[in-house]
Amino acid sequence: MLTSPVQDGTSATSGSLASVSGLAADSAGNLFIGAENFIRRVDAKTGIITTLAGSATAPVTQGPALSVGLYPPTNLFIDSAGVLWFVTLSGIQALGACRR
């Protein structure tokens, strides 16, 4: 059974994600998901999903995180400073400190 895409601000189990291309978890247990042209975060305490980066626009490499169109992000990794690193067709990229 197909479900509708999960929306920001809702439970991560309330829908589905298409084309998951990468996963990472931080020390607090938050889950980071590369899916389609977005990076999403599932809060470990609340289970709420939010979009950290990406948009439905054509891929570009610079700009505000929620305005940049990403190539599908893979190989997600969180370093000890909380910076999320990932790989796209544009190369290795980083998304500032992701601790909230």
pLDDT per residue as tens digits for the range 49-70: 999 888 766 566 566 666 667 7
Q: Would you say residue 77 has pLDDT above 90?
A: yes
- Indicate the pLDDT class of residue 2, thresholds 50, 70 and 90: very low
Q: The pTM is what?
A: 0.82
> Could you tell me the domains of the chain?
10-97 (2.40.10.500)
- Indicate the pLDDT class of residue 100, thresholds 50, 70 and 90: very low
- Exposed, middle or buried, 93 (CB in 10 Å: 0-12/13-18/19+)? middle
Q: What is the pLDDT of residues 8-54, one digit of tens each?
A: 898 998 888 888 999 999 999 999 999 888 899 999 999 999 998 88
Strand 48-54 with 74-78, pairing:
unpaired
